[in-house]
């Protein structure tokens, strides 16, 4: 199938909701979660960095703002979301490469990034797409490079369990993510932090390319 013919879930879940997406995410605490993910990654000076499923560009703009000497690339299948991301980058006065594509078929050379990020995207992928995506992430990472992800996970408290059931039942990544990372060849795969947003429980994961 041609990449342009593939279906995808837009950042807001529905195409008509895209103009509301950034305000919605801010209210729910998603921006703070993404900023924390960037901080945890400890991106080195001059690094080349990729976010898969960058959506409207919130994380890549934060990355480039905090690491001005980094080469930051954002990739997403949604051209409308990428258009918003370009506008954000222009307003922030930062230069970011924004590409259209899918995470399980990355159009980048082997060993071309020091860090790869994923924020609130992985739970949308089908099982076969998750395995293929992790394989592609490891392929494009430099030796010793690392993958950093924040996403929804099964709730661990009563209130969070109710919210999670309403909004993300069956879509958490926790139970299978670390085994999938290890199967893809990553090492030191681990959950490094846990938290919550108004939309449900979240966890932060990290893995390294040996």
Stretch 36-49: mean pLDDT, rounded?
Answer: 96
List C-alpha distances in Å: 85 to 33, 35, 54, 69, 99.
Answer: 18, 16, 8, 19, 11
Task: Tell me if 48 sits within 8 A of 71, measured CB to CB.
Answer: yes
* Structure confidence at residue 7 as a pLDDT band (50, 70, 90): low
Domains in the chain: ranges and CATH: 3-208 (3.40.50.150)
Q: What is the pLDDT of residue 30?
A: 67
| pLDDT (tens digit per residue) in 74-105 | 999 999 999 999 999 999 999 999 999 999 99
7 to each of 2, 119, 134, how far by Cα in Å? 11, 20, 20
Residue range 98-129, pLDDT digits in tens:
999 999 999 999 999 999 999 999 988 988 99
Record the pTM.
0.85
């Amino acid at each position: 199938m041609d990449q342009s013919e593939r279906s995808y879930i837009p950042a807001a879940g529905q195409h008509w909701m895209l103009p509301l997406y950034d305000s919605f995410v801010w209210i729910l605490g998603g921006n703070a979660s993404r900023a924390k993910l960037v901080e945890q990654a400890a991106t080195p000076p001059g690094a080349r960095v990729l976010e898969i499923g960058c959506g409207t560009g919130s994380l890549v703009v934060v990355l480039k703002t905090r690491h001005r000497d980094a080469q930051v690339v954002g990739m997403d299948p949604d051209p409308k979301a990428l258009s918003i991301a370009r506008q954000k980058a222009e307003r922030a006065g930062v230069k970011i490469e924004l590409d259209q594509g899918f995470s399980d078929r990355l159009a980048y050379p082997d060993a071309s990034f020091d860090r790869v990020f994923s924020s609130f995207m992985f739970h949308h992928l089908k099982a076969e797409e998750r395995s293929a995506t992790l394989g592609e992430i490891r392929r494009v990472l430099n030796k010793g490079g690392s993958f950093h992800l924040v996403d929804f996970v099964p709730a661990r408290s009563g209130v969070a369990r109710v919210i999670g059931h309403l909004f993300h039942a069956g879509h958490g990544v926790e139970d299978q993510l670390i085994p999938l990372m290890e199967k893809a060849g990553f090492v030191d795969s681990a959950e490094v932090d846990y938290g919550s947003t108004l939309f449900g429980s979240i966890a932060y994961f990290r893995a390294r390319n040996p």
